[in-house]
Structure 1
Amino acid sequence: MTRTLNDLPTPVLILDRSRLLANVARMQARAKQLGVTLRPHLKTAKSVMVAELAVGKSGPITVSTLAEAEYFAKAGFRDITYAVPMAPQKLDQVGALIKSGVDLKFITDHPAVAQAAAEAGQRLGVTFRALIKIDCGLGRAGIAPDSDILLPLAQKLSGALSQPGVELAGVLTHAGHSYGATSLAEIERIAEDERVAVVQAATRLRAAGFACPIVSVGSTPTALFAKDLTGVTEMRPGNFVFFDLFQQGLGTCAMQDIAVSVLATVVSHHPARNHVLIDAGGLALSKDTGANRNVPGTGYGRVCRPNEALPLDGMNVHDVHQEHGLLGGPDAPKVDFAAHPPGSRLRVLPNHSCMTGAMYDRYYVTDGGSEIIAEWDRVNGW
């Protein structure tokens, strides 16, 4: 039996497959143009079906949780990078995945973690593969490429000097500060800083006699606007599969490229307050308001009719409570209440698709129309 958007309980997460395919093709072409491997970061999609469209059925992929690593491993993915600094208590879980045949690499920037990995590898009878996290300007994690810690840390991860159980797989960085850029020219500059930092670290390691096969960069903005990735082996963008209002405001995508949205139902009108009430609030949409930095007034998301790509003027989500979303508001143009009666459906484009997706266990997939052509699962938690 054919189902449509009108048949779904709300709020639910809608995925436009045609937009997803176009976004994936765009990034695949960029990786080919730049001469690097695409290792997409699945922290955005958390879905086997999306991963298979991006890189096939075995990888390479990037994940942000070990729950994701286990989920993708069960689906047959064998080349996985866990791109969050390793906690020593998680090494047994990583070891079990390695024993099952997964080439699971982790990252660290701390000698104590390297020591713990060496000892755990000996105890478990596995060889962990670790990437050194390099800071290229974000200032969140990682060491500077010219840090005095780099070579001693590599020594601890090299499997030498009575340290079996772990080996150095390479270096990795992430230019997350590209999201704070104010122009495409600035994104290009940050992309070059990202490349220079990680290549400098790899060059130092190789000059000291360490193998450094993987030189990894990431972020959707820098992947799309880097002019050159000489010396880099792979890139790890993630948000590109879906995009969102933040990316649109940054200039990395068009409104029509945003592939996910939240389907909601109108539940009431409040003409005196000039707002329509929907059943999608802070949990369904997230409370990420970062898109307002580039486009003030975006609120908690922009609102479309179910089968239209572009948002309605003046119908942004101006406020949210846990299960309530308020459209319009005192500063918006007068709402056409007759156009949105209780029971009618609307779609909300997300400010940050990674955050918005976190509350949902599946995607209801369309090809741009109202018919539901598939349901794709996704993994949540840690």
Structure 2
Amino acid sequence: MTTLNDLITPACLLDSEKFKRNCERMRAVAEAEQLVLRPHVKTLKSLQAAEYYAPVSGPVTVSTLAEASAFAAAGYTDILYAVGLTPNKFSQLAALQRLAPDFTVIADSQAAVAALVSFASQLDVPVAVMLEVDVDDHRAGLLPDSSELIDCARVLNNSANIRFRGIMTHAGASYDCDTKAAQQAMAVQECQGIAAAAERLSEAGINCEIVSAGSTPTALAGVEHTGITELRAGVYATFDCVMAGLGVCSTDEIALSVLTAVIGHQRDKNWVIVDAGWMALSRDQGTALHNVDCGYGLVCDEQGQLLDGWYVCSTNQEHGIIRHRDNIEPPENLFGYGNLLRILPIHACATAAQYQQYYVINSACEVETIWSRVNGW
């Protein structure tokens, strides 16, 4: 059996048991509320990983057309591309439709709708479209009470080669909710906003097959998700330091880590230098505004046990610098030259994107298998 000592660092590790527990946690929420679960596969972008939390028999969400193509080729038929589709990508629609009959795109403006309707006339079968709704003034989407929402839906609903499936939203502002009460309030706001949009469309004679909402913090907020038909989330499968900082998970539940080796020291500064820089960890500093700033990642020993107070304070392309929050001297037994360490990611999606494969490990830190990843756009 391959061990961590056999791997070339930096390497991306996925703890199999933690991963499976995380997947089950979200599945239990959806089942308890009798909601369809449409996992977002953008964190791991792995067909092997998806077998556990997004089986081929169910719907998925993707963030790139490369993901859509890979999952469609693997037999997935209901795929939501949850990024606004631009005209330079229209040419890929026909091939995706042939593989995945329910491949669905989104729009959030009259300009986008008009462009889609114009292009759809060239397709052999109707293109499935959903409208994105803005429930938190965070990013993209049409406002639930806007006339533009009704106008866009009416155009889609009345167009010959368009299949209007419904509406979706993502409460990205939940990533700024640092208490359970705030996350619960945002979850309620998210559902109420999208449900209100669906009700307005119904009153206008436009049916929504799907009313979709979700983010990991709102999906796991512990409130009933009233008014929606399906729940979407993604990073829950691995979690990360951002989710731990918000209290959505504990650091012990983070399933993804980067294996790195000690390559040197700056002893006068109490620095440990490792071979995982921003090319291995990413530049994401999503905990910078949290009560505890985790820098570029929290440090664990080779077995994955958190080393309290130690974190990656800065990075260069191939070098990471580890220090203690109290600037104490690094103990040689933990940080000696050549020692292996593991770094918990700030943002799992960004860290995972640095790799082409994952080493799936068991509780004994043995590599059980290797899962590949879909990269590119």
Counterparts of residues 117-156 of structure 1 (less than 5 Å): 117-156=116-155
Deviation at 1:338, TM superposition (A): 4.1
Q: Which runs of 4+ in 1 moved over 6 A?
A: none
Q: Which moved more, 1:9-18 or 1:220-229?
A: 220-229
1:37-94 Cα distance to aligned partner (Å, 9 max, x none) = 1101111111112211113223310000101101111111111100011112212212
Q: Which residue of 2 aligns with 1:60?
A: 59
Which sits farther off after the overlay, 358-367 or 123-132?
123-132
1:174 aligns to 2:173 (yes or no): no
Alpha-carbon separation, structure 1, partners of 2:210 and 2:376: 28
| Conserved 8 A contact 2:75-2:100 | no
Q: Which residue of 1 aligns with 2:113?
A: 114
The structural deviation recorded for 1:271 is 1.0
The separation in 2 between residues aligned to 1:330 and 1:186, in whole angstroms, is 28
Structure 2 CA distance for aligned equivalents of residues 112 and 330 of structure 1: 51
Maintained 8 Å contact 1:264/1:279: yes
| 1:279 pairs with 2:275 | yes
Shift, 1:292, TM fit: 3.4
CA distance in 1, matches of 2:222, 2:171: 11
CA distance in 2 between partners of 1:31 and 1:300 (Å) = 32
Mark the runs of 5 or more structure 2 residues left unpaired by the alignment: none
Stretch of structure 1 that moved more, 256-265 or 124-133: 124-133
1:216 counterpart residue number = 212
Matching residue of 1:367: 362
Q: What is residue 316 of structure 2 aligned with on the other side?
A: 321
Go from structure 1 to structure 2 and tell me whether the alpha carbon gap of 1:115 and 1:47 turns closer, same or farther (over 3 Å shift).
Answer: same
Q: Which moved more, 1:91-100 or 1:346-355?
A: 91-100
Cα distance, 1:204 vs. partner?
Answer: 0.8
SS at match of 1:84: coil
For structure 1, the residue ranges without an aligned partner over 5 or more in a row are none
> Which residue of 2 is the match for residue 50 of structure 1?
49
CA contact (8 A) 2:138 2:172 kept: no
Contact 1:95 1:121 in 2 (8 A): no
Shift of 1:267: 0.6
Q: Please, what is the CA RMSD of the aligned residues? A: 1.4
CA separation in 1, counterparts of 2:94 and 2:40? 21
> Match of 2:189, as an amino acid?
D
Q: Deviations over 1:89-146 (max 9, x none)?
A: 2122122210234411111111222222222221122211111110001431101100
Partner of 1:333: 328
- Which region of structure 1 is more displaced relative to structure 2, 338-347 or 326-335? 326-335
SS in structure 2 opposite 1:252?
coil
Q: Secondary structure at the match of 1:192?
A: helix
Query: Would the aligned equivalents of 1:275 and 1:327 in 2 still touch at CA under 8 Å?
Result: yes
The equivalent residue for 1:260 is 256
Deviates more, 1:110-119 or 1:139-148: 110-119
Tell me the distance in 2 between the aligned counterparts of 1:338 and 1:188.
Answer: 44
- Evaluate the alpha carbon distance shift between residue 214 and residue 279 of structure 1 in structure 2; reply closer, same or farther with a 3 A threshold: same
Do residues 248 (structure 1) and 244 (structure 2) align? yes
Amino acid at match of 2:43: T
CA distance in 2, matches of 1:262, 1:141: 32
With 203-212 and 214-223 compared, the bigger mean Cα shift is at 203-212
Question: Amino acid of the residue matched to residue 261 of structure 1?
Answer: S
Residue 354 (structure 1) aligned to one of 338, 349, 352: 349
Q: Structure 1 stretch 174-183 or stretch 84-93: which is displaced more? A: 84-93
Between the aligned partners of 1:45 and 1:148, the Cα distance in structure 2 is 38
1:206 partner letter: S
Native 8 Å contact 1:273 1:330 kept in 2: no
Shift of 1:344: 1.5
> CA 1:376 to 1:145, structure 2 compared with 1: closer, same or farther past 3 Å?
same
Alignment partner of 1:291 is 2:291:
no
Match of 1:13 in 2: 12
**Which residue does the alignment assign to 1:184?**
180
- Cα displacement (A) at 1:370: 2.0
Q: Distance in 2 between matches of 1:342 and 1:251?
A: 34
- Alpha-carbon deviation of 1:329? 5.9
Pick closer, same or farther for the CA change 1:281–1:199 going to 2, 3 Å.
same
**What is the CA-CA distance between 1:226 and the residue it aligns to?**
4.7
Specify the code of the residue in structure 2 equivalent to 1:357: A
**Deviation for aligned residue 1:340:** 2.1
Measure the CA separation in 1 of the matches of 2:22 and 2:99.
Answer: 33
| 1:125-176, Cα deviation, whole Å (9 max, x unpaired) | 2211111110001431101100010111011111x2xx32212110001001
In structure 2, distance between residues paired with 1:113 and 1:313: 49
